[in-house]
Structure 1
Amino acid sequence: MFEIVTGSNKKYFDVNLKTGVLFVNERIDREEICMSNQKCSLNIEALAKNPHHLYRVEIKILDINDNAPHFPVKVFALNITENASPGERFPLPVSEDSDVGSNSLKEYKLSPNEHFSLDTQSEDQSVSAELVLNKALDREKQATIKLVLTGTDGGKPPKSGTLNIIINVMDINDNNPVFSQPLYKVKLKENVAAGTKIIKLNATDMDEGSNGEVTYLFSSHGQEKNLDTFAISPDSGEIEVKGNIDFEDKAFYEIRVEAHDKASSPMTTNCKVLIEVIDVNDNAPEIVITSLLSSLREDAKIGTAVALVTVSDKDGGMNGKVSCKLQGNLPFKLESSYKNYYSVVLEGQLDREKISKYNVTLIAVDEGTPPLSSTSVVYVDVSDVNDNPPQFNGKSISVYVKENMPPGTLIHTVSAVDRDSNENAEISYSIVDNKATSIHSVSVNSLTGQLYNLQSFNFEEQKTLSFHVQAIDAGAPPLSSNVTVNVFILDENDNSPVILPPYSDPGSVNTENIPYSAEAGYFVAKIRAVDADSGYNALLSYHISEPKGTNLFRIGSSTGEIKTKRRMSDNDLKTHPLIITVSDNGEPSLSATMSMDVVVVESLDDIKTSFREVPVKEESFSDLNVYLLIAIVSVSVIFLLSLVGLIAAKCYRTDGSFSRYSAPVISTHPDGSWSYSKSTQQYDVCFSSDTMKSDMVVFPSPFPPAEAELVSIHGEDTFTQTQTLPTTGKVSII
């Protein structure tokens, strides 16, 4: 996983992955890359992956003598008057050599002749040559002189270029224009506006008339670029800016200016203008980013490299000195590896669920006045790791379903949320419970979390169902969480009331006798019934139907007590068939019916039922009645004393158990009856009754059988019955 990363379009170097040898991949032309700069180097970055490590390599490009000196023109014509004085100088075109250092132009040589010699000057980065007249010319003897100028570089072996010089010996006009100084130096800021005047040259000619009038122009030999950048006024000698001055393109200019007089055979003199361009901070830093990772795992280790950053500035000096930093408070930092090369590395923990993408902004600022800056963004995507288990909304869920619901009914939908993404957030559901009843009663759709019942529920058999649902994701390794589902089965009115003995025997004839002398409110019978349902579905009401026109009896709607409404008359029937209906309060209401014949007899001796109340007229009291009343009171007092003793004994034995069992809820109805509602427990229930009044005392018992002993005292008889009580709902006990 080793590779070469370069910032340029051309990949000059590559590496052999087998041998590790760094080799040239594309031809290198130093003059193309660095032009005339003395120092030339290429920077490459070698990246090793798994783990990421960056190596910086600086390759210095050494110049070879692959460019020979050459002159801008092949033939140079020079007009010299025949009266030119010995020692007069004539500038020659400069030879150009693209090589640098020892391979650049070093010297000029002039072909042998008797009139001229060569004078060479080395100034700044150029070598110039001038012809020096050693011997006076005579046009009549020799009108044209041909010379050869050779420019040689310092390479090994050296290379050279030649220039053919043709000297035309001119007649008359014996004074040349003379510049005030042979060399002018000017400093000029870059980016100056076109038309800006930078210098005014001055040349004088001692001649008179047209021979003393001077005209200025740029030397056309090898100054084509200067002609596009600068312009000179032919009359005033003022040089002004014509084109764009950019320090980054060219830091100095050398301009050769000729001054001609206006004689028919003009004489010429030359000067040199050196223009130094002063850098201005007009280039903002440049940022080049090489991304190493398309995405970063949220569990990536601190120090992981994300991108390589290269910063550069075309300006020079302090204007080109750049500093780089990251913007904002992000879990990344910038490490400097080599000069203006940086690496963006991770320095903090990542959490994709909080931030899934980072825009890492880099700011590069130079030290110019005023400083310039530039920004660039590294986009880092955080890839998911399965570090979040599915989460339910709460630890438990309560579900309410009706009993008798058909199997396969949707009863609820559980839902979990996973903050991860993709397969790490794909959730499947299952029931995990050790109880076989839960597994066989409910199923869950593994994809949607929908809960279905596998069987019909029966409230009278099972009131609650609890199980666990597990949500597990598809990550590696998978993560899971559980939620407790509590299913509460709601009662439906699916049980009809059941009439209790002695009126429940099928096929039996229910008959009650009452005396003809019975007063209004005489107690005839009490109908008792129970309902296996609970709540309102078990709240019973009693109704009576009797032959039309009689209107002799009434029944307590909540007590089931049948009593007379009025006294008997001679027109009443002797036998009264009654139909009693017991209805619950459910929707729809269910009921049970029974029939009873009430027979009117003449004498009290004919009354056999021990549950009747004998109305007593105040005006017809006899001695027998007094004795009977005394006997009843005596028996009642003895029974009450016995009952109090029994209660005291039981309270003593069960002291401390009262705290473990809650007392039943006792309700009093408008008609004087009581009802209770309590879960399956054992209670000691004690009753006492006077002539028309009943009292009930309920005591909790620590023993588990759900039975109650019903004791009733009425009239002369005592009736004791053990009755199994329903585990839920309300039962009226009188």
Structure 2
Amino acid sequence: MTHKGVTFPSQMYYLLPLCHLWSIASAQIVYSISEESNRGTVVGHLAKDLHLDVQQLEYRGFKISGPNQRYFDVNKKTGILSVRERIDRDELCARSTKCSLELEAIVNLPLNLYRFEVNVLDINDNSPLFRSSKTYLNVSESAFPGERFPLESAYDTDVGANSVNSYKLSPNEHFSLDVQSGGEQSVSAELVLQKALDREKQPVIQLTLTAVDGGKPPRSGTSQIIVNVKDVNDNIPIFKKPLYKARIPENTPIGASVITVQASDADEDLNGEIVYIFINQNSDNNIAAFSINAATGEITVKSELDHEKNNAVEIRVQAQDRGHNPRASHCKVLVEITDVNDNTPEIFITSLVSFVKEDASLGTTVGLITAKDNDEGTNGAVQVKILGSVPFTIINSYNNHYSLVVDGPLDRESASQYNVTITATDEGTPPLSSTSVITVHVSDVNDNAPRFSEPVIHVYVKENSPVGDVIYTISAFDPDSDENAKMTYSLLDKSVSISSSVNVNSDTGDIISLQSFNYEEIKTFQFKVQATDSGVPPLSSNVTVNVFILDENDNSPGILAPYSEHGSVNAENVPYSAEAGYFVAKIRAVDADSGYNALLSYHISEPKGTNLFRIGTSTGELRTKRRMSDNDLKTHPLVVLVSDNGEPSLSATVSIDVVVVESTGEIQTQFRNVPRKEENFSDLNLYLLIAISSVSVIFLLSLISLIAVKCHRTEDSFRRYSAPMITTHPDGSWSYSKSTQQYDVCFSSDTLKSDVVVFPAPYPPADAELISINGNDTFNRTQTLPNKEEPKVPNSDWRYSASLRTGMQSSVHMEESSVMQGAQGVLVQNWPTVSSATGGKSRASTPHTELL
């Protein structure tokens, strides 16, 4: 160890080596140096003690580090450790016996760390001090010899032998000093009364107390002790009254005065000076809210008051003099704490039902409520009510107990729960209030029958659909919940025709077909479906289902007489002199389907590319294209193909052999009514013309009258619907249109028939098209109402009998009868026999129409 440059090897300590990322010296060096050493004082030869090469110190970056580095410096050339700045042991280590400063020495290449300590030695550089230069002792003149009076101990910042180790008292005749040692650094002194005091002879005694430390040379400090000889305390304090009363509100601010108590003492000086204290402060927490001025006796508020916790406080006040042997007296102070409206009402839900039925009667109890206000009087009086409009009300059972009851009709479907806001308001000034929200759940009862979106449902089913197909799914809605909303479906119509046609899945509402429908046999049927919930008692409702069968193209065209015999070849004669457009024959065909599936067209399939004959695409009339020539064959076998307009298209064929004859007498045809040429216009012809005109006028008037009567009778039935119409125009074309109750009579100028087609629509069409057949025998479709891209599914407008379709699409000859059935009536057309002209080119007819 080095002390002021002196090395003491006996003070060097060795520690176990520690190695990790760098090497740490295995021996730790401890130096000692006195505090307050001058700057530059050598502590030790650190490099030498660490066995380091002094020549390499600067190269290896020799330095010191650590929290106490600022007190020391190391010379990198010599390796000597020296004091850098003033070291005050008393500041660093206070009164600790040992004061050691830890440091580290670091070198590089290789990196090594060496730990060492510097002990700072204490020197006697501080004198003992008393905290006060004067100490006053009040000693009663009645004190007995031998009484001891503790004295204030002196304080020395030095330690060990340099600290205080003795006291001395100046010479006097009344007191002596007793010095006691409690340990190495604990020395105290007591003043001992040796002789009784007499205040009348010597009221004040002045003494000097000296504290001496053990340093060399020793240092000392003094304190003056002034002993005041006091008179004997033979009087007690007396209060003006034994009981004081005060009243304060609970919101009295802190620091406010409550009451002042007063007492008096006949003694003088300290014996007559009174100190006021609470004597029950430690045992009674209620008085902790108050404090008393020890000198004046004024009681003030110390903390917040709460009337609800304590509405009155009893305080015991002691008045004590300051005599050597103090004497005291007591009084009571009763403080009443009055109430203010500082508590908001509290709402407690003591009981609440989980659910209330929606059919609960008025007055049904839903919950029990308690309202409480900790204030008193009107401040604690509570009024409870409900905010907002809800079907509930509050009834006061007794005191602050209330019942929440039903006060109006409940409907779970409208409101499945209610958030009832309850407010409680006291009667204080200003009034305070609080709110609480109660959620009341409404449970369901079966008070709603299932509902269908529409009273009548229209279902469209294609004919020939597979058995077991779901043609529609019935869906009803029940606003009830759970079992009350669980529905089953059933057929109400138990007839054999319905039960064998459809079935209803009771759970899903699927309507399942039990048979494959044929449009030609049944076009529509009706039944009712009932939806029943699972409530108690169950409720139900019905819906009417109209099933419309949609036509499919499942029937081929049928050839009518005289060409209907299957496999036969028909012969027709044509005169060699026939002009272009000569009428050869008329092919008639019908299709049991409807709509486009029954719209027929005629074509010559064999021979292909014939330049002698043509056939009307829509009329089926076979005519010549040109005059005959010598190069033409005498017999022309033709195959006529009749196709419908369905998808896929179905067809039928008829074979006709056209034989060219030299004279018209050889022509065998079923149309022989050719008008006879008249050379002169005779009177008979005039009479005939007048008769025909009269009959035509009468017929037209009758027809108009019948139509007007029929329209008047069926006004209600056709009020919402427009009547579709198919008309044959004079130029040979057909048209389909929608017009409100139209009837039209059309005559063809170049055909063997005139058609009248008049019928109303049985149902409002979902789609509509205008179909025209022009003179070139081609079809033109013009949409007049919303329609699909292709008329694959026919509309209800086409649901007519086969005879109607014959008149519409096949231009049936006037000698046939066509019966058309509509929704409101039947129109029967009777066609008269046609009279033939000589050339077979001009034909006239008078139609006769009856509306049944």
With the length of structure 2 as denominator, give the TM-score of the two structures. Answer: 0.57
Match of 2:831 in 1: 710
CA distance in structure 1 between the partners assigned to 2:687 and 2:733 by the alignment? 24
1:467 to 519, 527, 534: 527
Q: Does 1:557 align with 2:622?
A: no
Q: Which amino acid aligns with 1:393?
A: S
Structure 1 residue 380 and structure 2 residue 440: aligned?
yes
Q: Does 1:418 align with 2:478?
A: yes
Partner of 1:281: 341
Corresponding residue for residue 253 of structure 1: 313
Which amino acid is the alignment partner of residue 291 of structure 1?
S
Paired letter, 1:559: T
CA contact (8 A) 1:518 1:567 kept: yes
Q: Secondary structure at the match of 2:402?
A: strand
- The CA distance in 2 between the partners of 1:469 and 1:699, in whole Å, is 37
Residue 646 to residue 280, structure 1, CA distance change in 2 (3 Å):
closer
Pick the aligned partner of 1:190 from 239, 247, 250: 250
What amino acid does structure 2 have at the position aligned with 1:247? Answer: H
- CA distance in 2 between counterparts of 1:641 and 1:370 reads 108
What SS does structure 2 have at the residue aligned with 1:330?
coil
> Could you list the per-position Cα deviations for residues 449-489 of structure 1 after superposition, in whole angstroms to 9, with x for gaps in the alignment?
11111111111111111110100000011000000011111
The 2-side partners of 1:186 and 1:346 are apart by: 52
**How far does residue 178 in structure 1 lie from its aligned partner after superposition?**
2.8
The residue that corresponds to 1:494 in the other structure is: 554
Q: Given the alignment of the two structures, is residue 482 of structure 1 paired with residue 603 of structure 2, yes or no?
A: no
Report the CA distance between 1:353 and its aligned residue. 0.9
CA contact (8 A) 1:463 1:488 kept: yes
**In the TM superposition, what is the alpha-carbon distance from 1:675 to its structure 2 partner?**
8.8
Deviations 1:311-349 (A, max 9, x none): 221111221121111221121121122222222221211
Which shows bigger deviation, 197-206 or 220-229?
220-229
Q: Specify the alignment match of 2:387 in structure 1.
A: 327
Distance 1:243 1:664, change over 3 A: closer
> 1:394 is matched with which residue: 424, 441, 454?
454
Structure 1, unaligned stretches of length 5 or more? 1-170, 617-623, 726-734
CA offset at residue 235 of structure 1?
2.8
Distance 2:750 2:344 in 1: 114
Question: Match for 1:379: what amino acid?
Answer: T
Change (3 A) 1:536 1:696: closer
Deviations 1:256-289 (A, max 9, x none): 2111222223232222222111212221112222
Cα distance in structure 2, aligned partners of 1:250 and 1:686:
112
Q: 1:491 to 1:201 in 2, by over 3 A?
A: same
Instruction: Determine helix, strand or coil for the equivalent of 2:233.
Output: coil
> Is 1:359 aligned to residue 480 of structure 2?
no
In structure 2, do the counterparts of structure 1 residues 657 and 310 end up closer, same or farther at CA, with 3 Å as the change threshold?
closer
Contact 1:410 1:451 survives alignment (8 Å): yes
Q: How far is the alpha carbon of 1:365 from its aligned partner?
A: 1.0
State the secondary structure of the residue aligned to 2:497: helix
* Compared CA separation, residues 500 and 187, structure 1 to 2 (3 A): same
Cα distance in structure 1, aligned partners of 2:745 and 2:426? 103
Q: Report the alpha carbon displacement of residue 664 of structure 1 after superposing the two structures with TM.
A: 9.6
2:416–2:443 contact (8 Å) kept in structure 1: yes
Q: Which moved more, 1:480-489 or 1:692-701?
A: 692-701
Does residue 219 of structure 1 match 2:340? Answer: no
1:210 matched to 2:267? The reply is no
Structure 1 pair 182–635 and aligned structure 2 pair: CA distance change class (3 A): same
Residue deviations 1:415-434, cap 9 Å, x none?
Answer: 11001111000011111115
Q: Let me know the Cα RMSD of the aligned residues.
A: 4.2
> Which residue of the partner structure matches residue 370 of structure 1?
430
> What CA distance in whole angstroms lies between the structure 2 residues aligned with 1:699 and 1:230?
114
Alignment: residue pair count? 540
Deviations 1:659-706 (A, max 9, x none): 66999944125752669999xxxx9x9999988675456799999999
Aligned to 1:118: none
> Which residue pairs with 1:567 in the alignment?
627
Map of 2:112 onto structure 1: none
**Contact between 2:731 and 2:749, CA under 8 Å: does it hold in 1?**
no
Q: How does 1:102-113 map to 2 (within 5 A)?
A: none
* 1:392–1:415 CA contact under 8 A, matched in 2: yes
- Aligned residue in 2 for 1:440: 500
8 Å contact kept, 2:450–2:539: yes
2:466 to 406, 423, 442: 406
**Aligned mates of 1:482, 1:401 — CA distance in 2:** 21
Structure whose CA Rg is larger: 2
- Amino acid paired to 1:443: N
Instruction: Please state how far the C-alpha of 1:641 moved relative to its aligned partner.
Output: 8.6
| Change in 2 beyond 3 A, CA 1:687/1:603 | farther
Q: Partner amino acid for 1:279? A: D
Q: Counterpart of 2:350?
A: 290
Correspondence 1:229 to 2:307: no
Q: 1:538 corresponds to which letter in structure 2?
A: A
> Could you tell me the TM-score, scaled by structure 1's length?
0.65
Query: Could you tell me which amino acid in structure 2 is paired with residue 328 of structure 1?
Result: G
Contact 1:689 1:714 in 2 (8 A): no
Matched-pair contact (CA < 8 Å) for 1:687–1:694: no
Question: Separation in 1 of the partners of 2:844 and 2:634?
Answer: 32
Tell me the secondary structure at the aligned position of residue 389 of structure 2.
coil
The aligned counterpart of 1:201 is 261
C-alpha distance after superposition, 1:601-622 (max 9, x if no partner): 11222112132798x9xxxxxx
For residue 235 of structure 1, what is the amino acid of its counterpart?
A: A
Say which is worse superposed, 669-678 or 412-421, in terms of deviation: 669-678
Counterpart of 1:342 in structure 2 is 402
Alignment of 1:515-554 (within 5 A): 515-547=575-607, 550-554=610-614
Letter in 2 for 1:557: T
**Distance in 2 separating the partners of 1:587 and 1:183:** 121
The sequence identity of aligned pairs, in percent, is 55
State which of 323, 326, 340 in structure 2 corresponds to 1:266. Answer: 326
| Alignment partners' CA distance in 1, 2:628 and 2:444 | 93
Tell me how far apart the structure 2 counterparts of residues 634 and 544 of structure 1 sit (CA, whole Å). 44
> Is the contact between residue 261 and residue 298 of structure 2 (CA under 8 Å) also seen in structure 1?
yes
Asked whether the equivalents of residues 403 and 490 of structure 1 are also in contact (C-alpha less than 8 Å), the reply is yes
1:480-503 Cα deviation digits (max 9, x unpaired): 000001111111111111111111
Contact 1:219 1:257 in 2 (8 A): yes
In 2 relative to 1, CA 325–549 (structure 1 residues): closer, same or farther, beyond 3 Å? closer
